[in-house]
Amino acid sequence: MILSIKIYPDNVLRKKCKDIEKIGEEEKKLANNMLETMYKNSGAGLAAPQVGLLKKVIVIDIGEGPIVLFNPRIIYKAGKVLFEEGCLSIPKIILKVKRTKFVEVEGLNRKNKNVKIKAEGLLAYALQHEIDHLSGILILDRISIWEKIKQRKNIKNLIKK
């Protein structure tokens, strides 16, 4: 089922999500619906708040197959990089975002098993982007003041809609 994506400045995008106690059928269905929604909208990742749910669930596919994580958290970071990112909740705007180059993330998979993912490059950026959403952090919060000034008109146009 395709879910409706919340668009900035929707308040749900600024709220913190709650942990999921156990991965059951409802959570698996949510993850599948989020993947379907992400693919339909040509995204590389999607977090539950982007579809209006304050649950710690992210889905990612950077072209290497889908990743589903429940209660993901970054346990290791190294290096810095400036990377151009977009967001399904901030459509048609690409921003230069400061990110960590390498990350290690842990969370639960669909089988309720603890997993760790070591990532660099695009996967590392996607994991950071989606995990940020779970804390109410948007790419707008990760850009320089100069980038904000450059994008002011585009951001104001989103708020007007």
Distance of alpha carbon 24 from alpha carbon 63, whole angstroms: 27
Report how far apart the first and last C-alpha atoms of the chain are (Å, whole number). 25
| CA angle at 101 for the pair 70 and 71, rounded to the nearest 5° | 10
Contact (CB, 8 A) for 83 and 71: no
Catalytic residue annotation:
130
Integer Rg of the chain from CA:
15
CA 160 to chain centre: 23
Question: Which residues, in sequence order, are CB contacts of 92 under 8 Å at separation 6+?
Answer: 154
Question: Which residues, in sequence order, are CB contacts of 28 under 8 Å at separation 6+?
Answer: 110
